[in-house]
Structures are given as C-alpha cells and as structure tokens.
Structure 1
Amino acid sequence: MNNRLLAITMGDAAGIGPEIIVKALAAGDAGRCVVLGSAALMRRTVARLGLMRPVALLDAPDDEAPPDCLPVWEPAGLPAGLEDLQIGAVQAAAGAAAARCIEAAAQLALQGRVAGIVTAPIHKEALAAAGIGYPGHTEMLQALAGGGPVRMMLANDELRVVLVTIHVALRRAIELLDFDAVLSTLRIVQQAARHWGLERPRIAVAGLNPHAGEGGLFGDEEQRFIAPAIAAAVAEGIDARGPYAPDTVFMRARHAPPAHPGEFDVVVAMTHDHGLIPVKYLGVEQGVNVTLGLPFVRTSPDHGTAFDIAGRGIADPRSLQAALRMARQLSAASR
C-alpha cells in the first residue's frame, strides 16, 4: 500500500466541495493527495478563487503530480460538462458524478492503492435524482466494501459520538433498534479504538427515551435491550456504561481540559439527531465524520453541500482539513 496517498472525492459539483478542496490543498499542509473528479471543474474553481495554481490531470491516480499542481484524476464514466452545471442547485448529473467518484475511491482503497479516502459533501436529493439507491456516503461505502456492519462517528477535539442508526426516518430508526444493533455498535467502537490510540475506550451509552426511560415510565427500550446489550459487552471485556439520560451524557463526555476533562472517550447514541446535534453545536468547522467498520479509512467534513453559499468563495475549509489530518492519523495506525 502507498501509505502516503489519500484520495479526495470532489463531492457534489454544484456545492462547496470543489471550493473547500482547492482551499485545503492550497494551504500546503495536506500531504500527498489526489482529487477524484472533473479537472475542468477544478480549474474553474481555482480561477473563481483567483489562485495561481495549475491543475494537473493524471493518467493514473497514483501518478506523481508536478510540483505546486493540484492533482486530479478523472474516473472512467464521469459525466461530462460538470463545469457548466448551475451552482447551488440539485442536479442529477452532479449526483451521478459524486457517486462515480465514491465508487472509484472505494475501489482504489480496496486495491491498496490509496491509504484512505476523504469525501467532500454530497447532496442526497441529487443522488436520488441520478437513481442512486443509497441515502448517503455511509450506506454506499458499506455496500461497496461488501456489506459488513459499519457505523458513523462524528468527532472533534472535545467529543466523539457513534450512532446506532443513521439516515432513516425517526420512526424507522426506533424500529431498527434492538439488542444486536446496540451490541454490534459497541463491538465496532472497541475494535476501532486502537486507531485513536485507545486499547479500552470508556464508552457511554445514551438512552433512547427522556431520562433513559426513568425506570420504564417513559419507555422500556432501555430495559428491554439497551441495558442487556451493555451487560453483554461488559462480559466481553468492553468498558461500556449506561444507559445514561441523553440530555446530560454529552456534557459529561465533553473533553475540554483543564477545567472539564471528559468522563468518557466516546458516546454511543441511538439515533442520528440525538448524537449529532451536540457535536455540531460545538462547531462544524472542526468536526470530522468517520465511518467505522470499513476495511479502509474514510473521513469527511462535518457539513453538507451548502448550496446557499456555493460559488461565492466564502466556504470554510477547516472541517475538510481536519478530515485530512484524521485520515492520515488513522491510516498510520492501520499499518
């Protein structure tokens, strides 16, 4: 494996993905990367930002680019004319292009040609318009990697949160929760923790219901399967604790020394918004999305396509830069 090369997918061509990629790579501290996407689109983005930086179209993704160039590789089957799409609008061509770049990046990672992949934001409506049968990166990468169990983790310097369920309606998410789903999540967190330098992470499990059910008064999911899954994990040597009231556990886990060292290394939350609101409230510019359970490293920024500011040159690249740093850290630990 080339442990130095990261693949960056360009995301939705009509969003801020191309802009934050150009800004992050122009900052000069990203290490060796290759952008999977449209060279013409990246050239248009560079020109719009007023940067004097040539774009090098590579014949192969792991070719060396000339110095001071933005390296781009166009996967086969990439739709043409992406540089002419309307910025800030849902378009099927953008969804199809984003999906093709994700597929190509996963193939490169599975072949060992890149150390990991960093994905710029995609738009779920554009994916659907293109006929892509996945609601997001996590589900698509899971299928491309063989369908094994994966989980979404959102992390910053103060808080790590792993989700049991992700991109489904809340009613459906509750239906999907059971003993196996919670125990599988705890096992995935334990296995992934070595990439963070933790052999035995302190895992707090947030309940589903207010006050973690209050002994069954506000729901019995905690009693029926969340607490039993925690007990089963503990029997396997996993340091899992809870279930805790979801309205306070994130404050307890927040690591903000010296005044507030966190009680836990990671929080497991049952549903998407339960877990992600606390992390995003701390600041999306430092947040990183990591997919746990894949046979390769995948990170992404903690924000979406931001159609409302796309093309205006004001998108903040810091979350993508954090994703690049974390991908390098995790790929180094995976060697």
Structure 2
Amino acid sequence: MTKPVIAITMGDASGIGPEIIMKALAREDVRALCRPLVVGDAGRLREAGLLVGSTLQLRARATPGEAEYAPGTAEVIDLGLIPPGHPFGTLSPLSGEAAYRYIERATRLVEAGEADAICTAPLSKEALHAAGHKYPGHTELLAHLTGTPEVSMMLVAPKLRVIHVTTHIGLIDAIRRIEPGLVERVIARGRATLVKAGIAEPRIGVCGINPHAGENGLFGQGEEEKKIIPAVQACQGRGWDVTGPLPADTLFFRAARGDFDLVVAMYHDQGHGPVKVMGLEAGVNITIGLPVVRTSVDHGTAFDIAGKGIADEGSLVEALRQAAELAPRR
C-alpha cells in the first residue's frame, strides 16, 4: 500500500511552524508514516533549517507530481511569498496572507487528488485578520474553502478525545447557540469518526453546561433539560452508547481513566483546558465533517520563542500520525 501524501501547511511564517516542520521531517518515524509535502516557502524553511541545525536538503516543486521523497530531502510546494530575512516573532499581515494562501493551495491539492490529507502548522488569527481574512481560525477557513456548512473540532491527547459543540465564540453566545439538533449532529460526527478509526461501539460522554450538569435544575435555567437531554435521548434511540449530560469536572477524569472513548464538550474552554493539561506537546486538533482530512498541532504560533530553534515538534509529529491514519488509501 502506498504511503499517503500529507500536505503540511507552513502556517504563520513569523511563528514556530517552519522550525517544527524542519525538525519533524528529519525524523524516521515521520518518513515511515507518510510522504510529507510542505506547502509553504522554501526560503523560509531553509532559514528555519539553519536555526534548528537541520541537514535536510530542500526541494522546491511546482506540483506534487515532481516530488521524489528521497532520503535526506524535504519536498516543498514553493509559493515564494516570504522575503529573505522576514522577522520571526512579530505579528505580520504578510505572514497572515501567506498562511491563508498555503491553506488554500493545500485544500485544492487534496480536492484534486494530488495529496491525501492536510496537516496544518499554527497560524496567527490576528495576522490572518490583518491580511483581510476574517475567519476565527483554521476550522472556519477550511469550512469556507470546501463549502462545508458545519464542521466540528476534535482534540486528541494521550488518554483523551474531545469534540466541541461550539468553539470560537463567546460563552454567552455559545449557550445561545447550543440546541438539541446541533448537539445530536456533533455526537454523530464524532461517533462516525471513531467508528472509521476502528472503534466499533464508541462510548460517548456528554458534558452539561452548568456546574454539576445543572443538578436537576438547581443551577442555571434548565439548559441541560432543554438543550442537551433531547439530543442524548435521540442518540440512545439509535442504539448508540451515549451518556449525559454529566458534570464536566468528573467526566473528564472518567474519560482519562478509560470509561469513555469520546467526550462532547459544550464550549471552547470546557474542552480545551483538560486536553492541554493532559498533553499540550502531544495534542492534535482534527476537523470533523470536512470532505478532506485535516489535522493540526494543538498549540499556537509561539511568537515568544520563534526564531530560536527551540520549539518542540511533538504535536506536529502526532498530527502527522493522525493524518496518515485517517487519510484514504490509494
């Protein structure tokens, strides 16, 4: 079976993306998983290679068909958008525009069958906005590029998987947006992903919104009864192993212990906090519901350490592993 081609977007050129890519592509375990194809800027990657002491030889390509994936080399679809000496560690509209273009090109490559999955290095939302692209993040941008009306974010860390009902909106807006149909669709997307990954009957725990999942109406204004319970009952009616709403504080502990295969979080920080405590360096972000496979590191651009050659590539390696496992086989 041919190893999948994973299109790795370089992310924000002013952040740590170029450095962690050069570190990851030097690893034999990554080469054993896939054929890595960077979509970015060869010049910037060479600068990052010097920072991290890489001996990889960059091969700038116009199309994926030109790539050879020879040992000791890194294949790059070179968009040539970043000038030499562009500063690391500072917010830049130029880097924001380039990050958008990398994602756009990678998406088209997968849609055309020239790559099998996308793995994204981090971008800066502020830089993206400064470049005129008003998206909250990668997830929403990819949904726009693929014409997908609704997607979900799944975070994977050692011993924990979390899918979110809402993500990049304020807490008050998130509570307003949560409704039974949305909760049910998110549960269904998460379950389908785990079934595809080989878990025949996923055990799914659903968080409440309020402390103690409302404690039978003691806390909140009946959000659990109105917004979550009907969705859980509908999923149970399909014969799925879905439990909830449960208090989030104990549900995450139980999931990490092995009682559940997936946790359904209601809002951004409810899900992100536990995942990042469990393993920021090894966390992976997966967009669920797209027509293309997309995984990502679960950390930001780290402008404070960018350009120093010290960024850890662990999350990117795990994201590549997940992309290779989820990618369709040729």
Shorter-chain TM band: over 0.9
Q: Is the 8 A contact 1:2 1:113 kept in 2?
A: no
Find out whether 1:9 has 2:9 as its counterpart: yes
Aligned Cα RMSD in Å? 1.6
Aligned to 1:97: 98
Q: Aligned partners of 1:161, 1:190: CA distance in 2, in Å?
A: 11
Q: Secondary structure at the match of 1:149?
A: coil
Find out whether 1:52 has 2:48 as its counterpart: no
Q: Is the 8 A contact 1:288 1:301 kept in 2?
A: yes
Amino acid aligned to 1:10: M
Q: How far off is 1:234 after superposition?
A: 1.2
Deviations 1:7-26 (A, max 9, x none): 00001000000000000001
1:1-335 to structure 2, matched below 5 A, reads 4-31=4-31, 32-65=35-68, 66-75=70-79, 79-81=81-83, 83-219=84-220, 220-255=222-257, 262-331=258-327
Amino acid aligned to 1:308: D
Q: Secondary structure at the match of 1:251?
A: helix
Q: How far off is 1:298 after superposition?
A: 0.7
Q: Aligned partners of 1:148, 1:68: CA distance in 2, in Å?
A: 41
Q: How far off is 1:3 after superposition?
A: 5.4
Aligned to 1:259: none
Q: Aligned partners of 2:239, 2:187: CA distance in 1, in Å?
A: 11
Aligned structure 1 segments of 4 or more residues deviating by more than 3 angstroms: none
When structure 1 is superposed on structure 2, of 88-97 and 144-153 the one drifting more is 144-153
Q: Secondary structure at the match of 1:282?
A: helix
Q: Secondary structure at the match of 2:189?
A: helix
Amino acid aligned to 1:71: E
Extract unaligned runs of 5+ from structure 2.
none
Q: Is the 8 A contact 1:162 1:268 kept in 2?
A: yes
Q: Aligned partners of 1:128, 1:239: CA distance in 2, in Å?
A: 41
Deviations 1:195-246 (A, max 9, x none): 3211221110000100001111111110112011100111123221110001
Q: Is the 8 A contact 2:162 2:263 kept in 1?
A: yes
Extract unaligned runs of 5+ from structure 1.
256-261
Q: Secondary structure at the match of 2:64?
A: coil
Q: Is the 8 A contact 2:19 2:51 kept in 1?
A: no
Q: How far off is 1:95 after superposition?
A: 0.6
Q: Secondary structure at the match of 1:160?
A: strand
Amino acid aligned to 2:5: L
- The alignment of Structure 1 onto Structure 2 pairs a total of residues equal to 325
Q: How far off is 1:2 after superposition?
A: 7.2
Deviations 1:155-211 (A, max 9, x none): 023000000001111221111111111011011112212232112211100001000
- TM-score, normalising length from structure 2? 0.94
User: Aligned residues: percent identity?
Assistant: 47
